[in-house]
Amino acid sequence: MDEDDREEIKTLRSLLGANAIIKLKDVPTEVIQSAILNSVQLCVEKWPFMKGVIQLGITRIDSQEGDRTTKATYDPETKIISLNIEQFSNIEKLEKLIKKYDEENLIPSGTGDVSSIMTHELGHVLSKVLEEQGIFVLNIISSATHQVFSLNFNELTDIELVSFARENASRLTGQRTREIIEIFYYRFSESSFFNNRTFEQHNEFLTAISEEIFAETVREYLHSNTPGEFSAVIGKYIENYFKET
């Protein structure tokens, strides 16, 4: 039996279905209410197909591992979303920070509430679900870039991709997309990746980038009242796909 019978966990269970695995033992009530519940609610209301697939194993990020400023992560192997409880413990402060990110166009416009951090991670969950069905987000991003910008994401060289994202970040999903791409760019370039990369490494690079862009589009599509053209194309694609399957 689940020992955690807090009210908000019962609400989550009613949203996600009786069989959903929900492990939130170390997560404070306040965080569940302000960050998790709103995001899950938004997600399953708009995309009921997510009801059967969201498993919430939420743990705290150990500050020693990784960046202290990281707010949340998703592990596709264990399917567990981790929240940095240190960051989430002061919701008011975090709320202010996310609002500021929104004003500065670091995150997609209209997504300046803490629960959108969680929705970004749910975007990764969805990406994994699609992958298990043989649909790769790299291809989704590629076809959306083609449709909106008349560019084929798959065929861009890494350098072209970075300059494209730089120029178009605000029309993609906010400046953070540009930063993410640059972080990957430098991470990969450190290992002399750009001098001597294999096809697999090249694909790994594009996949990593497209997954982050995809998670940001999900965040924008679900939270913003007026999602941009790029996110809207991807959101509609997802809806149509699950309507047909």
Residue 215 binds Zn ion, judged by CB under 5 A: yes
Q: Which stretch binds Zn ion (CB under 5 A): 52-60, 97-105, 147-155, 205-213?
A: 205-213
CB 109 within 8 A of CB 228: yes
Q: How far is the CB of 74 from Zn ion (least distance, A)?
A: 7
Residue whose CB is less far from Zn ion, 113 or 212: 212
Rg, C-alpha atoms of the chain: 18
Residue whose CB is less far from Zn ion, 169 or 215: 215
Residue 40 binds Zn ion, judged by CB under 5 A: no
Beta bridge partners of 56: 22
Q: How far is the CB of 120 from Zn ion (least distance, A)?
A: 6
Measured over the CA atoms of residue 230, residue 233, residue 238 and residue 239, the dihedral's sign is positive
For 34-97, strand residue ranges (E) read 56-60, 72-75, 80-83
- Kindly report the number of other CB atoms within 10 A of residue 104's CB atom: 12
Residues whose CB falls within 8 Å of the CB of residue 65, separated by 6 or more in sequence, listed in order: none
Q: How far is the CB of 196 from Zn ion (least distance, A)?
A: 28
Q: How far is the CB of 123 from Zn ion (least distance, A)?
A: 7
Residue whose CB is less far from Zn ion, 16 or 215: 215
- Where do contacts with Zn ion occur on this chain (CB under 5 A)? 212, 215
